[in-house]
Structure 1
Amino acid sequence: MQIGTKNLEGIFDEFKKVAPRSALQTDQDVYSIPERAGEGTYQRTCLRSGMEISWFDANFRDAISLDVDVQYPHLEIAYTWEGQGSWEQSGDSRNYALTAGTSSLLYIRDDKVHAELSPRERMLHMEIRMDMRCLNMQLPELSRLLERRFFCRQTAGAPQIRLIAEQMKQCPYSGSLRKLYLEGKTFELLAIHLDDAGIERQPTVSKLTAGDIRCLYEAKEILSRRWRQPPGLLELARLSGLNDYKLKLGFKELFGTTVFGYVRGMRMNEARKILEQGRVGVNEAAILVGYHNFSHFAALFRKTYGYNPSEVRKVAGIDPGQAERSENPYSVMNNPFPGREERRLHE
């Protein structure tokens, strides 16, 4: 599929609008993907001139190839919940993956990208898209980024990013309040990405080969499956086909976090979800995700989210009366971490 875009509208030329705007959601359009490709929808919400959010939920019959010619200064924040795929800048051998739990900060101007989306599995993906000609953002970090023709930094397993993305997906408001809420979350995500990107540094040429990158993604997938009992660094290096030195440095370069930080992020995210259900206390939740030092768990949780684990339901706006401890699916009797706590991975 070939797509040329001179503005935010261009990407939708290949899609058919299937739902008219409602009285409450005057800023929202819903499109269907081309029938020849599969089935699913592309939901588009305009926040202001030059800024919008797209929600992509689809299943493809066959592998999909997209060639997109971006002919304007385009800034994007993306987050993937489900699905697999990859993309690359035209003329660049470096490959970027679309995988669950990975977020990207992308800037592209007058350049092309090629994307491949995997078939026969659900793709659930969010993109915050900005036309920088329409936005007047006076930020030094952003100004340095806009001087480039292309920039991409991916972050994997960051609990703060996942939380904000989920809050946006489950926005409790409608109408103008919905736009206000989503725009605020957009700027929150942008601040996190710009702070993490280190754009003030001079761009460096990556020494990672295409083979190294494939091995690093394999290491991330292993950790995603085995975060409850993760392999040590040496074992992870062996399983992924790298030496431990390249694993440590390459993982940080590619995903914006250390191996240990990725596992910790998975644990913090699981702890937050458990506590939101209100069926176990803080100490039980800590044990279930691998922490037996409760004060250490509380400190890490507070550092990650900015509030105490005991305040999860309050922050999430959940009525404490909704907790159903009698139907508790969690139990320390089923604890997958008997007597062990973060002893195999080190930063």
Structure 2
Amino acid sequence: MTLNIVNSEVHSLFDQFTGLIQAQSRIQIWEQHITIPQEMGQGGIHRTRIRPGMEIVITDATYVQDMKLRIQEACPLFEISYCLNGDIYCEWEGKTSYTHHWTGNVLFFEDELVYEEKKADVRHHMLEIRLSPQELLHYAVDLSEEQKMQSWLQRYKGNIDNYPNTPEIHRCVLDMLNCTYNGALKRLYLESKSMELIALFGEVEGQQALTKKSFLSREDLVNLDYARELVIRHFEQPLSIQELARKVGINEFKLKKGFRKRFGMTVFELVRKQRMEMALYYMEVQRMNVGEAAVSVGYSNVSNFATAFRKIYGYNPSEHLKMLPQRDIKTD
């Protein structure tokens, strides 16, 4: 199935999507619950309109066939999204983007035709903050700030760019997903958390800009990027510094110093971060308990796993499970 949508203003995309798939829709003032028809899949979409030109969309749906959309972005749109789980392919103007679990994306479109494909039999669980650029500029306190924000927007014009996942970003997303407020308090809370997420993205972006000013050569940067790829690929059975240096063709000193400068963390810290992110995936999506998740990411001792988890997220994995919606899992 391929749906054709003309997105003429920020809120029109999901209005058209709801009509095209003939989904059930329940509207309560500024909230909308969209239920996917059974013949198309299961799950749904929850929209919160903060104000005209700004909305927060939480999708949790699984389709029985590939869901294909051809979207004409006919209005200025700034979006920050976070995918907890999914398999999404996008193509526009000769460019491509692939989104899977724990992927954060930022985009700014004005007049692009975008093809989007969500794979069948995959749970697509994601958060989107969608707003017009004017709503974003609303937060600038003076002309100087507005010009900086305009420049910031232009860097993302016509692109879908990934931004690094951090524990702070992940926690902010979970806070939004698990919001327990109702009414006006809920809308205020979600708006404040949306701005927090955008600020956290801006902080990560600023750190990335600083790491580009480096003593490292272009070849060194390529080698370090490859080293990061290998660390992520082998996080369950990590390569030693010596093995990693040999494989990417860089000396150990430059690897250790350059890695920290370019990525803001040591090789070991990235290994631990990847293990903890995968542990979150196992607990939140695969519904594993703490012990099962620990073993799955390479920890034979649950206590060591809990200590590492606490260093990253500030609380124990068992506490994290209690914050999630009730499910048929053991929390140890």
- TM-score normalized by the length of structure 2: 0.65
The answer on 1:69 being equivalent to 2:72 is yes
Aligned to 2:199: 191
Query: For each residue in 1:133-191, what CA deviation from the matched residue of structure 2 results, as whole angstroms up to 9, or x when unmatched?
Result: 34423245532122353244313442111111111100021111111111111011101
Counterpart of 2:9 in structure 1 is: 7
Find the aligned partners of 1:48 and 1:328 in 2 and give their Cα distance. Answer: 39
Give me the whole-angstrom Cα distance separating, in 2, the residues matched to 1:196 and 1:11.
Answer: 29
- Given residue 129 of structure 1, which amino acid in structure 2 is its aligned partner? R
**Is residue 108 of structure 1 aligned with residue 109 of structure 2?**
yes
Q: SS of 2:27's equivalent?
A: coil
Given the alignment, which residue of 152, 164, 167 partners 1:145? 152
* TM-superposition CA deviations, 1:227-284 (whole Å, max 9, x none): 4x4345787899xxx9567xx9xx99xx99886554333455659x9xxx999xxxx9
- C-alpha separation in 2, matches of 1:78 and 1:104: 5
Letter in 1 for 2:238: P
Q: CA deviation at 1:97?
A: 2.0
Deviation at 1:193, TM superposition (A): 0.9
Given residue 39 of structure 1, which amino acid in structure 2 is its aligned partner?
Q
Q: Check conservation: 1:141, 1:200, Cα contact below 8 A.
A: no
- Could you report, residue by residue, the CA deviation over 1:287-326 in whole angstroms, capped at 9, with x for unpaired residues? 12575xxxxx97xx3xx66xx659x97x9998xxxxxxxx
Shift of 1:49: 2.2
Correspondence 1:53 to 2:56? yes
User: SS of 1:53's equivalent?
Assistant: strand
Tell whether the 8 Å contact from 1:145 to 1:151 is kept in structure 2 after alignment.
Answer: no
Query: Which residue of structure 2 aligns with residue 119 of structure 1?
Result: 120
Residue correspondence of structure 1 range 278-297 to structure 2 within 5 A: 287-288=304-305
SS at match of 2:11: helix
Q: As a proportion of its length, which structure holds more helix?
A: 2
Q: Aligned runs of 1:295-334 on 2, under 5 Å?
A: 301=311, 329=332
Matched, 1:155 2:163: yes
Distance change (3 Å), C-alpha of 1:117 and 1:309:
closer
Equivalent residue letter for 1:82: N
Q: Following the alignment from structure 1 to structure 2, what is the Cα–Cα distance between the partners of residues 199 and 109?
A: 27
**Alignment match of 1:82 (pick from 67, 85, 91):** 85
Alignment RMSD (CA, Å):
4.5
Matched, 1:20 2:20: no
Structure 1's 290 and 34: CA in aligned 2 closer, same or farther, altered over 3 A? same
Alpha carbons of structure 1 residues 3 and 174: separation in structure 2 relative to 1, 3 Å: same
8 A contact 1:84–1:98 mirrored in 2: yes
Q: Does 1:175 align with 2:178?
A: no
Query: Residues 176 and 36 of structure 1: is their aligned pair in 2 closer, same or farther, counting only changes over 3 Å?
Result: same
- Between the aligned partners of 1:116 and 1:88, the Cα distance in structure 2 is 9
Q: Which moved more, 1:120-129 or 1:141-150?
A: 141-150
CA distance in 2, matches of 1:267, 1:20: 39
Alpha-carbon contact 2:321-2:331 (below 8 Å) kept: no
For 2:176, what is the secondary structure of its paired residue? Answer: helix
Structure 2, unmatched stretches of 5+, are 213-217, 219-225, 284-288, 292-300, 324-329
- Number of matched pairs: 276
Contact 1:14/1:34 (<8 A) preserved: no
Identity of aligned residues (%): 26
CA spacing shift, 1:174–1:73, aligned 2, 3 Å: same
- CA offsets per residue over residues 187-235 of structure 1, 9 Å max, x none? 111011122224996xx9xx9xxxxxxx999868745xx54x4345787
- Alpha-carbon separation, structure 2, partners of 1:259 and 1:63: 38
Measure the CA separation in 1 of the matches of 2:108 and 2:207.
Answer: 12
